[in-house]
Chains A and B, each alone.
Chain A
C-alpha cells in the first residue's frame, strides 16, 4: 500500500531528482514488520521522539541560558520565572532526559530478552550501545550547566576519575578542566559539547535504523521472517500502535512533569555551586546510579573506573558471549530466569548507588557487581551451551494464527535456526 502514487506530476518531478517519496514509502509505509511485535517494541520509536523533544527544548532553552559560572544559575532562574513558558521548557528538558533514559533502558532490556543483539544484528546492537554512551556523556554535561552544587561536585568527582589512569591521568584531567579545578572554562566547553552531541546521536540513530531496516526487525519468538505471510506493513499497523504507546508514555511523562517535576532530581542542585562547600552526599542522576555503585564497589581507584566503563563495554561482546542458537528468552527457560535476576540486580545496584558506600550497602554493592559481571562471563556462554531450549514454532504466521485460535496445533515444532 504505497501512499504516494506516481500519477502526481509534482511527486514525479521531485522523485526523479531526490527519491524522497519512495524512500518514505519503503521505510515508513510499506516497510514489512513482523506481525507479532508486542508493546515492548514501542520503546524504540518513543526514544527517537524523546531525542527530538530534548533537541527542540534544548535549542529554545539555549536562547535564554548564559554559560558563565557567575551567571548560569541566575539565567536558569530567569528562565523559570520570567521567560514565557520558561518553567515548562526547563522542566520538559530536565524530566525529558529522565524519560529518554527510561525508554532507552526498556528498549535495551527488550533487546536482551528477545536476543535482538544476535546475528545478523550485531552492528545494530553496537550502534545502540554507542547511542547509550553518547547519551550518558550528553546527560552528564547537561547536568553541569545549571551550575548548582550537584552540577559542580558531580562534575568534579567524575572528571577526577580520569586521574586514575597511570602517567597520562593528571594531564588529561587538567586538559578536560581547562584549568586546575572545575570552573568557568569547564562550563563553557561542556555547553558547547552538550549542544553538539545530540546531533551526533541523531547521526548514529540514522545508522542504527539503517542497520535495522537492512535485516528487518527481530520479534518476540526470535525466529526469522520466512515470507510476506509473517509480516504486515508498518503503516497503518505500527504507526497507529506507536501513536497509542506514545500517548500512554506521554501521560506518565506529563504526570511527573506537571505534578512532581523535581522528584527525580536532587534538592542540592537548587543551591548555587560553591567550590568551598561539599554537599553531604554527592549523587548523580538516577540513570547513572547502577554504574556509580559498580564504581564504588571496587576498593581500588583505577580498577573501579575500569569496572564502571567495563560494565557498559561488556555489552559490545554480548553477541559472542551468548552461545545459544535460540534468540528469544520465551524458549530459553534458564536464560529467562537469569535475565530477571539480572534486571533485579541492576535495580538493586541503582538503589545502592544512591546511598553512601558503607556497611550493608557496600557488601551488597560488591555482591551485585559480582552478579552483574558473572552474568556475562561465564554464565551466559555456559547457559548457551548447556541449556535445553523449548521447541520453536515453525513460523511467525503459524504462531499468530494459533494464538488467535486457528491454524496448526501448537505442538508443531521447528529446529532452532542457525546463525544467519
Chain B
C-alpha cells in the first residue's frame, strides 16, 4: 500500500520500529504543529525550536503511543501545547514578546497603505488574543489557524463539543472586551 494511503494511526504503528515511517509522520504534521506553535509564541525562532522539541519528544515516546480512539494529531498537539505552556512559564516575568510580522499578505488589497493598515490590524488582533487566558488562546489557534472542528479541538483540550462552543462564545466576548480596552472596536477594518 502506498504511504499516502496509510492512515495516521497506521503510520504511527510503523513508526514504532521504522524511522522512515516517523519521517512520514513528520511530513504530515510539521506545518500544522509549526503554525500552532508560531501563533502561541509569536516568533519564528522559538516556534522552530519548540516544533523541533515537539517531534523530538514524539520520537522518544512513539513506542508507547496507544491510540484509544484519539487521533494522532491530538497527541502531537498535546505535546506541543505542553512545551508551549512550559515556554510561557519560563518567560512569565518577561513583559513583552516580539511578534514577527505576519506572513502571507493578501493579494487582494488595493494599495500599500491599505495593506499596511490590514497588517497592523491583524497584528493587533493576534496580540490581543495572546493576552487571553491560555485555553482561549489555544482554542483560537486550533480553530482559526488549524481549521479544526469542535470535535477535534475537544479531543485535544479534553472537553466536550458543547463545552468548546461555549468556550468559543466566551472567548469572542473576552476578545471584544480586550480590544475595546485598547480603543479598537470590531467594526474597524471592515
Say whether A associates with B: no
